[in-house]
Amino acid sequence: RYRLKSGLSRTRAQFGGRLKSLFSRGTVDEQLLEELEAVLLTSDVGLDATQHLLYQLKARAKRDKLATPEAIQKALSDAMYELLQPLEEALDVQSHKPFVIMIAGVNGAGKTTSIGKLAKHFQAQGLSVLLAAGDTFRAAAREQLQTWGERNKVTVIAQQSGDSAAVIFDAIAAARARGIDVVLADTAGRLPTQLHLMDEIAKVRRVIQKADPSAPHETLLVIDASFGQNSLQQVMAFDKAIKVSGLVLTKLDGTAKGGVVAAIARQCPKPVRYIGVGEGIDDLRPFHARDFVDALFE
Ligand code: GDP
């Protein structure tokens, strides 16, 4: 809890800090709503979610005759919680064996780092993990994953040549043969505008389905929270290509744009499975709407 608060410190400074002084007046009037709108927009909550939250606050102010700073703050944080709560859906990796997680995202979003964090997270639950070095565009990505695997005694399936789909296909077969619990399959970074690469990742997904008709059991899109509103396009484009089933929202520690979770909730809702709050191996949290909202407002 404490680390989540410090992880969200920049968004909090932008958000909670400024709200406190706004609410101190103790009335929900036009001026407050206008200033609140500005705060929400600069935290990347986005127009749609901002309007939704303002509407909720206005309605509650009228209904419950809110007249203290605490009551107004609580009404807004309740509305935010209700908005984000549907995104809280933990991943149940024990529902299949091996549980195949395909990981996608743009370059630099934090895929490789998140794979390392996830591997450790699952191992800590007593599960065995295998990594598939499916980023075959960059030799450095493969090496990074292999080095990481050696250091942490996690098997990495990689090939000197060969395409992403083939590597992941082999990795699933290997995981099945070895009785592994979770396969984390990396893919090369790509932009939604690189249409041929979006076609290619759709093909990777189809090949995964050939290896196991029920797979991928999770298609995780890793997005960098500091992309703010641009994240929405990424969610939509990757969803179209590979049916995104969950998100990892990284770098919340380095940005004041943590409000983008609210925009995602309104415009392209997907479960936020995990959030990244630092570069360290332990800086990954399951997304808890209540903790997240509390960390923003406290
Ligand atoms: P990839 O290209 O998607 O595989 O991205 P990487 O995993 O290589 O990450 C790119 C950079 O972002 C690296 O410097 C990571 O240390 C950093 N990074 C990843 N996740 C986080 C996070 O949650 N917080 C912070 N501060 N940095 C992160």
ipTM over 0.90: yes
pLDDT of residue 26: 86
pLDDT per position as a tens digit, 106-137: 999 999 999 999 999 999 999 999 999 999 88
The gap from C-alpha 208 to its chain's centroid, in whole angstroms, comes to 22
284-286 and 182-185 beta bridge pairing: unpaired
155-157 and 272-276 beta bridge pairing: unpaired
Residue 101's DSSP bridge partners are: 184, 218
Is the shortest distance between the CB of 269 and ligand 1 below 6 Å?
no
Is the shortest distance between the CB of 254 and ligand 1 below 6 Å?
yes
Asked whether the bond before 98 is cis by omega within 30 degrees of 0, the reply is yes
Q: 104 C-alpha vs ligand 1 centroid, how far in Å?
A: 13
pLDDT per position as a tens digit, 182-200: 999 999 999 999 999 999 9
pTM (two decimals)? 0.95
The gap from C-alpha 50 to its chain's centroid, in whole angstroms, comes to 20
State yes or no: 107 annotated in a binding site.
Answer: yes
Residue 100's DSSP bridge partners are: 183
Once rounded to an integer, what is the mean pLDDT over residues 218-241? 96
- In the chain, how long is the greatest CA-to-CA distance? 67
State yes or no: 147 annotated in a binding site.
Answer: no
Q: 235 C-alpha vs ligand 1 centroid, how far in Å?
A: 18
User: Cβ(223)–Cβ(268) under 8 Å?
Assistant: no
How far apart, in whole angstroms, are the C-alpha atoms of residue 5 and residue 15? 13
State yes or no: 106 annotated in a binding site.
Answer: yes
Is the shortest distance between the CB of 212 and ligand 1 below 6 Å?
no
pLDDT of residue 81: 97
pLDDT of residue 2: 59
